[in-house]
Amino acid sequence: MFFEVELLRDIAVPAKSVDRNELRVPQRYTVPRLLEGWINQKACKDHGYFLSVTKSKSIDKEGPTVNGPGVVSFPVIFMCRTFLPVKGEILHGVCGPMKYALMSPRRMPTYRHVSGKKSFFSNDQQPKIGNGVVVQFLVTAVRWSGEGRNLKREYLVFGRAKGESI
């Protein structure tokens, strides 16, 4: 599902970019900082994957907080578009050596696996399922991988496809 959410983030900027008379940061500094943070964060458990900033609503009017020599931070409220996979939703995905979505062969009982250099799944009535093929699948479970030593901020999606949905 796609969502439009309002978020609050502290944005650190060089002190020289702050208008000293008005104690405010021009938007040309805040949006790139938001995007840089997203490259590192990628997703969160509550809102899903971050797709785009759609609107900058406000920058704290009370002025900056000094974070260190030459760096100040401002709380910024902004709107953004996110994608959160939800159980029961029908998605489209490109087949390949994916680690984010799994369609177990047990969930595709009418298909058989054909191994070889370019392995694929085959069915007498439907097209082959292999690398590069777009399939429509029903999300049967969603799991947040969380954070940790070797974990990334991602969702693991489990799905199933029936013949007529491919």
pLDDT in tens, 102-152: 777 777 778 888 888 888 888 888 778 888 888 888 888 888 877 665 667
Asked which of 83, 115, 144 is the last residue of a domain, the reply is 83
Domain of residue 150 covers 90-165
Q: DSSP character for 86?
A: -
Whole-angstrom Cα distance, residue 38 to residue 25?
Answer: 19
Same domain, 78 and 94: no
**For the chain, how many structural domains are there in total?**
2
pLDDT in tens, 2-18: 999 998 888 877 777 66
DSSP string, 9-75: EEEEEEGGGSBTTTTB--HHHHHHHHHHHHHHH-EETTTEEEEEEEEEEEE-TT--EEEETTEEEEE
